[in-house]
Structure 1
Amino acid sequence: MKSSAANATAKSGNTLQVAVVSVADDARYQPRRAERRWPGHSTGRLLSAARLAVDDAQVELQEAGLSLRLREAVAADADQLAATLQQLQTDKVAYWLLDLPDALMPQAVQAAQKAGALAINASSPLDSLRSQSCGASAVLHSYPSQSMLADALAQFLAARSWREVLVLQGSSPADQLQLQAWQRASKRYGLKTTDTKTFKLSGDPRERDAANPKLLTAERKHEVVAVWDAEGEFARSLVYATQWPRPVLGSSGLTALAWHAQWERYGGPQLNRRFVKLTQRPMTGQDWAAWVGVKSLVTAWVAEPKGTPQTLAARLRTGQVQVDGFKGQSLSYRAWDGQLRQPVLLAHADGVVQTAPMEGVLHPIDTLDTLGVDDKESPCKTR
């Protein structure tokens, strides 16, 4: 386990220590995968984004007489994660930024709850992570949920009256989770699925047709193709390869993202330039979620310097603290599931087309709650 300050205590005087939790063998960061830079995929570890957030907060912290230190908490592999988290508890490090694959997130959330730590999920979109951690009031999610991303795309189609959708899906569990979120969003915004087809990537010549874009899209009665491919290998080949001239969205084409390197408004260019200068790579949605997660913690701590993980989490979840995420609106966390309300960027490789919520989409309290699981829909009743 690496630390930015040897033998530093978790909170010494006016210094707060935040652990960035990860695993060394995380498949998301394998060089070959990261180099491809597929839409929505993380391309680098989130420590750099956390460092940028600390740098950005220096003036605010200094004026309040506070300081924040980052600590790397890197488990060798999944089997060692429990020991790494236990060491944080032993060292009384009570603020965790989670940079973990989906499969390990529930374990980290449970450990945070047991340790009384405030944990921020900056990388996983799993809806189940939000719904199954209702009692974990000190767990926050700065990265958008899969339902939020799907709702953003569905709103976009509904706003344009493009309602007939051909759905192409993979067969992996991650593909199925994306499909489930899309089916919910599609029903919510009145879209019609003309057909659902399963693609299959295979080296077997006999199965080649199962990944043939022209054959899969041969039926003409659809206005849009939605592709759900968590890995991204098939989706990347679909744009401009369909049988008929139809827009593609989902895992390729028009994608729903937390952030985009070409976001040109509300301070986005300045943030992107600072991040590239620090890391020599573009900022992704996961990077932004780590940056805004640390920024959220700083904002809450400055407002309550003697706060505990529980009181700071409560301050964030009750809307007492709002955060500027450079998306044009003040952001706050939902009381029911700890999810950060935020606009979602709808983008292709070269730029942002629009942001959701769409103009005209209404909500009795906050239009940002039209993205994802709203209060009355959530199984979480903790306030």
Structure 2
Amino acid sequence: MHLNLIRFAFALLAGLLPLTPALADTVRFAWLALDKDVRYDDKRTFFRTLSQPPGNPYAGAEVAMRESRFVGQALKIDFKLDRATGADTSALLAQLDRLHAEGVRYFLVDAPAAVQAELGRATRGKELLLFNVSAADDALRQAQCQPHVFHTLPNHAMQADAIAQFLVSNKWRSILLLEGPLAEDKLIATAFERAAKRFGLKITDKRSFVLSNDPRQRNQGNVGLLTAGSDYDAIFVADSDGEFARGVPYRSVRPRPVVGSEGLVAEAWHWAWERHGAPQLTSRMIKQADRHPGSADWAAWMAVKAVVEAVVRTENAPFPKLVAYLAGEDITLDGFKGNRLGFRPWDRQLRQPLLIATHNAVIERAPIDGFLHQHNNMDTLGFDQRDSQCKF
């Protein structure tokens, strides 16, 4: 019985893939990351909120490479992944140039937004692609966008729109917005304010919080004081650091749901997602990383899978043709989330549903039923073409 299943798998693969023995090539990927990335500091990941990465997402790329070996053997193509790090952007750019000279064309970049933006500017016009797997900043998809930079991680606007849809669907229309002092906090808050306007939510009050040992600022970190004196159906917390956000649930004056950076979040991936073959992918990532996978792990996995799919469907065509297919409307990517995925032509952001989840359960998947778009309902999440500032 087991042998018959193996034979059936090979037969199915033969029907799906163009078996072309003439193809004998190596498709090389490279992973670029900082030597020390504060986002993956042990203390930060130990006390992390739901919206923060659980660890370095390199394991996601490793899982995708392992999955691609079977396809590569059938096509006589060797998929290879190099790993390079640097102390800063200049060092990463030097590594990129070295690897590009060796024939690498596909780079997975795991770095903060400022580094991603600089690498994108410095490499424009070169025969290569950069895949942003860990920076959610909207600016990378807007004013700082580049035609050769693809984004597999959802951005803040997509996350905020998903949360806004969930709030509207539950008729929780009055929202108290708590915003932190960091620049990243303000980006998250701005994204939610945009989403609230887009979907008809009312922000009843916007209050700033500060976590500090200074007695003069103690009240600015008091959840009870910050949530008193206002009427609201839910609390949205914009806290990129997470230290304040994790203490908000169950401490507000009014017993209301907490969303945004804690409580209920919108992410690309969650280990508790149980449909569309997701548990199998999650188990492979747990085995590789020895922890639950997060959104960046999935984004890294997806970046490799997207290129492999383009290689397969174009029969490893020359680089310009392969990129055209990757960025085109005909590509079909399976992200184990139930929808056909592909990149938006106007900003290279991967269209994808988002999982609205708590610590141990997925509550809903967005786009939520009833939120429609004239072309693709997944474009109700993030920047539609008419809203895009991206000009290639």
* TM bracket (short chain): over 0.9
- CA shift at 1:104, angstroms? 0.7
The separation in 1 between residues aligned to 2:275 and 2:91, in whole angstroms, is 42
1:23–1:100 CA contact under 8 A, matched in 2: yes
Alignment partner, residue 180 of structure 2: 170
Where does 1:1-383 land on structure 2 (aligned, <5 Å)?
Answer: 13-134=24-145, 136-380=146-390
Deviation of 1:381 (Å): 5.1
The 1:309/1:118 distance shift into structure 2, 3 A limit, reads farther
What is the CA-CA distance between 1:287 and the residue it aligns to?
Answer: 0.2
Aligned residues with identical type, % of pairs: 39
- CA–CA separation in structure 2 for the residues paired with 1:78 and 1:30: 19
**What is the distance in 1 between the residues matched to 2:293 and 2:97?**
31
Q: Is the contact between residue 334 and residue 340 of structure 2 (CA under 8 Å) also seen in structure 1? A: yes
- Which amino acid in 1 is paired with 2:170? R
Give per-residue Cα distances to partners, 1:191-222, cap 9 Å, x unaligned.
00100000001101221110101110012411
The match for 1:4 is none
The CA deviation at 1:347 is 0.5
Q: Is the 8 A contact 1:153 1:256 kept in 2?
A: yes
Q: CA deviation at 1:268?
A: 1.0
Contact 1:21–1:96 (Cα < 8 Å) also in 2? yes
Q: CA deviation at 1:102?
A: 1.9
2 CA distance for matches of 1:105 and 1:56?
Answer: 27
Query: How big is the shift at 1:57?
Result: 2.0
1:6 maps to none
Supply the distance in 1 between the matched residues of 2:148 and 2:128 (Cα, whole angstroms): 7
Tell me how far apart the structure 2 counterparts of residues 62 and 92 of structure 1 sit (CA, whole Å).
Answer: 20
**Is this contact kept in 2: 1:20–1:73, CA < 8 A?**
yes
**Cα contact 1:346–1:355 (8 A) shared by 2:** yes
Aligned residue for 1:332, secondary structure, equals strand
Q: Which residue identity does 1:45 align to in structure 2?
A: N
- Any unmatched runs of 5+ in structure 2? 1-22
Cα distance, 1:309–1:240 mapped onto 2, change above 3 Å: farther
Within 1, Cα distance between the matches of 2:96 and 2:310?
A: 24
1:230/1:251 contact within 8 Å kept:
yes
Alpha-carbon RMSD across the aligned residues, in angstroms, is 1.5
Runs of 4 or more consecutive aligned structure 1 residues displaced over 6 Å after TM superposition: none
Q: Who is 1:9 aligned against?
A: none
Partner amino acid, structure 2, of 1:19: A
| Unaligned runs of at least 5 residues, structure 1 | 1-11
Aligned positions, number: 370
Q: Residues 219 and 146 (structure 1 numbering): CA distance in 2 closer, same or farther, change over 3 Å?
A: same
Residues 85-107 of structure 1: CA distance to partner in whole angstroms, max 9, x if unpaired?
22223323111011112221101
- For normalisation by structure 1, the TM-score amounts to 0.93
- Residues 133 and 170 of structure 1: CA distance in aligned 2, closer, same or farther (over 3 Å): closer
2:244 and 2:318 map into 1 onto residues whose CA distance is 46
Secondary structure at 1:115's aligned position in 2?
coil
Tell me, in whole angstroms, the C-alpha distance in 2 between the residues paired with 1:262 and 1:364.
Answer: 31
Alignment partner of 1:82: what SS?
helix
Name the amino acid aligned to 1:144: P
CA distance, structure 2, for counterparts of residue 347 and residue 84 of structure 1? 37
The answer (yes or no) to whether the contact 1:333–1:339 under 8 Å persists in 2 is: yes
Match of 1:161, as an amino acid? K
